[in-house]
Amino acid sequence: MTPTAPPTADTHPPKSTLFCQDCGHQSPVDDDWILVATARGTAYRCPQCGADLTIRPALATTSARSQPFEAWQHLRHAWCDSVRAWRAMYLG
């Protein structure tokens, strides 16, 4: 009986792996990076050498991010309207 490990996805790094160009440290985006809030957005600071990697723009500066939110708001509004209509039908 030999325990055989099932083939997992660890043969290639996940998409969201960050690399530090200064010291070569690498880990998933949600792992040990230090998040620093700056005026321009969120910076990912290397836990080993302290270098700032990428700055994720703040919500206000990205139009691409606000679009799904607006779509969600629209959907939520439509949902509330339909609930209100059903309630009106039910309660007379």
Q: How far is residue 27's CA from residue 14's CA, in Å, rounded to a whole number?
A: 9
Note whether 44 and 54 are within 8 A (CB).
yes
Q: Per CB under 5 A, which of residues 26..55 are in contact with Zn ion? A: 46, 48-49, 51
Residue 82 lies near Zn ion (rule: CB under 5 A):
no
User: Which residue's structure tokens are 């969600």?
Assistant: 72
Pick one of 22, 31, 32, 81: the residue that binds Zn ion (CB under 5 A): 22
Q: How far is residue 69's CA from residue 59's CA, in Å, rounded to a whole number?
A: 11
Residue 25 lies near Zn ion (rule: CB under 5 A):
yes
> Total residues contacting Zn ion (rule CB under 5 A)?
8
Shortest Å distance, C-beta 44 to Zn ion = 10
Pairing of strands 17-19, 41-45: unpaired
Contact stretch for Zn ion (CB under 5 A) within 6-14, 22-30, 63-71, 72-80: 22-30
